[in-house]
Structures are given as C-alpha cells and as structure tokens.
Amino acid sequence: MENDNTLDATGLLCPLPVLKVRKRLKNLASGATLRVLADDPAALIDMPHFCVEAGHELVSQSIEGDVQIYIIRKT
C-alpha cells in the first residue's frame, strides 16, 4: 500500500500523537492515507479510538520493534 503521508510521532506522549494526527488529517483529501509511527504505549488504545470517534478508517495497525505503525484513511 502506498501512503500519501507519514507522520513520525515517536517520542511524543499522550495526547500529542493523536492531536498531531488530527491536525495532519485536516489537510488531506478524503480517501488519502496517513502512515503514523508512534511509541507511546497509550497510542495502542488512543489511535483506534480516535479513528472510531472521528469516523476515519484504521486500515492497519502493526508493531515493528518498539515502534507502532498505523495506516489511517481519511473519510
């Protein structure tokens, strides 16, 4: 899957990763995807919850080493 954008939120703690995702998604067209890198343990709960609440699609969620990777499609 090719991503339109990547947001590196590693090193940021709750609620900053979600706030930065929200801000970045505002500037994307509907249907665009955002790849998010995070390492905050709370993001495991916060990112899926944010997507449900905001109506965006959480395409995938994975972990590579210490980094969580989220692919979010703006609706």
Average pLDDT over residues 49-75: 98
For residue 65, what is the domain's CATH number? 3.30.110.40
The total domain count for the chain is 1
Q: Are 51 and 36 in contact (CB under 8 A)?
A: no
Active-site option among 12, 14, 28, 32: 14
Average pLDDT over residues 5-25: 97
Q: How confident is the model at residue 7 (pLDDT cuts 50, 70, 90)?
A: very high
Residue 14 known to be catalytic: yes
CA distance 36 to 47: 9
Q: With 60 as the cut, is the pLDDT of residue 64 above it?
A: yes
Q: Which residue segment(s) compose the domain that 42 sits in?
A: 5-73
Model confidence, pTM: 0.92
The pLDDT, as a whole number, for residue 4 is: 55
Residue 47 in tokens? 């990112």
